[in-house]
Amino acid sequence: MASRLPLAGQLKEKEEHEKTRTELEVKEKQLEEERQNHTLTVQRHGEELERQSRELERQREELERQGRELKIKDGKLNRMKTLTIVYEKFRQWIEDEASNSSSGFTEFNHSEVDDSIPKDQKYHLGKGSYGIVYKAELRGKTVAMKILDKSSWQGEREFKQEVGILKRIRHPNLVILLGACSEKFALMYEFLPSGTLEDCLSKEERKESFSWEERVRVATSICSGLVFLHNTKPNPIAHGDLKPSNILFDAENVCKLSDFGISRLLQHSTDTVIPNHITEVPKGSGPYMDPEFLSTGKLTPQSDVFALGIILLQLVTGQSATGLRKHMVDKLERQNLGKMDTRRQKMILEKLQILDDKLKLDDKFIQDAVRMLSLGLRCSYNERKRRPNLEAEVWPEIESMNKSECL
Ligand SMILES: Nc1ncnc2c1ncn2[C@@H]1O[C@H](COP(=O)(O)OP(=O)(O)O)[C@@H](O)[C@H]1O
Ligand SMILES: [Mg+2]
């Protein structure tokens, strides 16, 4: 009996042990199941997260695409706005001109031109890149007569052809071509009595009164004239020789571009010349000449944007065009003028002696001067592709300065 009891105890203990083991096994199974469930849940969450992040990436790309499309649409819209405004001004001007009835085109003959060349030196307005300019009287009208250097012309036929295009170009900011003489290779322009932009930038007495408002107005006028030329149908016309001595003022001080399209007519500077053939850059045009035109011989409207850039820099600084861009880039290298407040902008501009010292610039115009400076630098990038579009970017920017002038 004494030996059975422990056996019964042992059995009971074994039974209990067995029970605990089974319980443990069940628990272990449960735990394993839970672990598996948990892993599955984590996996599912991971997959869900991945799906969501792919979806987010897709949405981001879609937004970026829409952003790019919007930017293109915005550019197109700006371009349309610019053209609408420029053409509306042109339409009003054409109506006024029609009632003036003074704008017909005349073909002059050889002897008329010879007879009208004034002997007196005071009527010799200048010797420019393409020939001599006289103040002359022709059929009772005062004109600026430009007799082109014969040696640089392809021939009478080409001359007539090109004049045929240029005589139809009419815009309030472009000098009118009143007549021509194909035997003498002469062009007769409306006479503009109030000097050139070169005078405003260099002659002391003109510089004194060349206010900021006036400079912005000049910039807008140049830009409007260029927009019109570049949108001429069927082919755009590049000015090709934009510089301050080709920007003139009429009796009412309206600013007009002259000599447009002439470089296209020259034997050695048409838009199809081979680089080696560019032997000459028109005198005084050097700093305004598009570097890409000089290296490739290809003249495009973007070449005018380069020249405009240099002129904008001159309007702000009053300095000579030679080396001006580099000079400004060196000075402004470490400054981020666009991000500063007006007080600081003014301080930096004064410290670096950037503004034309003849310019009494009101605080409210400082920001516009900074914008014109930055626009000038962007327009005059060496690489054509980096320059902004005239209608979509340059014109609206300058036009908005014009508006702040009126506030
Ligand atoms: N339509 C015009 N009316 C009055 N003056 C003019 C006109 N066109 C040119 N001029 C004068 O003649 C000068 C020489 O003209 P141009 O031969 O075009 O040379 P450039 O423009 O290269 O200086 C100009 O700087 C300007 O003073
Ligand atoms: Mg000229």
Helices (H), 1-142: 4-100, 110-116
Place 339 in a pLDDT band, splitting at 50, 70 and 90: confident
Pocket test for ligand 1, best of 125, 143, 176, 201 (most atoms within 8 A of CB): 125
Which protein residue's CA is at the shortest distance from atom 14 of ligand 1?
126
Q: Is the pLDDT of residue 169 over 90?
A: no
355 lines ligand 1 (CB under 6 A): no
Q: Is the pLDDT of residue 322 over 80?
A: yes
248 lines ligand 1 (CB under 6 A): yes
pLDDT at site 120: 85
262 lines ligand 1 (CB under 6 A): no
Q: Which ligand 1 atom minimizes the distance to the CA of 246?
A: 21
The residues that are catalytic are 241
Contact yes or no for 371/346 (Cβ under 8 A)? no
Place 346 in a pLDDT band, splitting at 50, 70 and 90: confident
Instruction: Supply the pTM of this predicted model.
Output: 0.79
CA distances from 165 to 13, 51, 188, 335 (A): 118, 62, 15, 46
Q: What is the mean pLDDT of the chain?
A: 86
Tokens standing for residue 204:
């002391």
259 lines ligand 1 (CB under 6 A): yes
Per-residue pLDDT tens for 186-210?
A: 999 999 999 999 999 997 877 778 9
How far, in Å, CA of 362 to CA of 78, rounded?
Answer: 29
From first CA to last CA, the distance across the chain in angstroms is: 120
Q: Which candidate, 230, 218, 259, places its Cα nearest to that of 126? A: 259
Ligand 1 centre and the CA of 245: distance in Å? 7
Q: Is the pLDDT of residue 62 over 70?
A: yes
Q: Is the pLDDT of residue 1 over 70?
A: no
Of 43-57, 247-261, 330-344, the range with the lowest mean pLDDT is 330-344
Nearest listed ligand to the Cα of residue 149:
1
Range with top average pLDDT, 34-48, 88-102, 124-138 = 34-48
Of 171-185, 194-208, 235-249, the range with the lowest mean pLDDT is 194-208
Q: What is the mean pLDDT of residues 3-20?
A: 83
Strands (E), 68-227: 106-107, 124-127, 131-138, 141-148, 177-181, 186-190
Instruction: Work out the percent of the chain whose per-residue pLDDT is above 90.
Output: 54
Sketch out the chain's domains with CATH numbers: 102-190 (3.30.200.20), 193-405 (1.10.510.10)
Q: What is the mean pLDDT of residues 302-324?
A: 96
Print burial letters for 120-140: b (CB count within 10 Å at least 16), e (below 16).
eeeeeeeebbbbebbbbebee
Nearest listed ligand to the Cα of residue 187:
1
How far, in Å, CA of 117 to CA of 119, rounded?
Answer: 7
**Which residues define the annotated binding site for ATP?**
146
284 lines ligand 1 (CB under 6 A): yes
The residue that leads in pLDDT, 228 or 361, is 228
Q: Is the pLDDT of residue 185 over 80?
A: yes
Per-residue pLDDT tens for 282-312?
A: 555 689 999 999 898 888 999 999 999 999 9
